[in-house]
Amino acid sequence: MERTLITGHSPFEGVAGFSRAVVVGDRVHVAGTAPIPPDGSSPPDGAYEQAALCLEIIGEALQRAGSGLAHVVRTNIYVTDAAHWAGVARAHGEAFGDVRPAATCVVAQLLDPAWKVEIEAEAVIP
CATH of the domain at 30: 3.30.1330.40
The 8-class DSSP code of residue 44 comes to: P
pLDDT of 1 reads 81
pLDDT at 120: 98
| Residues of the chain with confidence (pLDDT) below 50 | none
pTM of the model: 0.96
The pLDDT value given to residue 116? 98
Q: What is the pLDDT of residue 49?
A: 98
The boundaries of the domain holding residue 106 are 3-124
Report the domain count for the chain.
1
Query: How much is the pLDDT for 102?
Result: 98
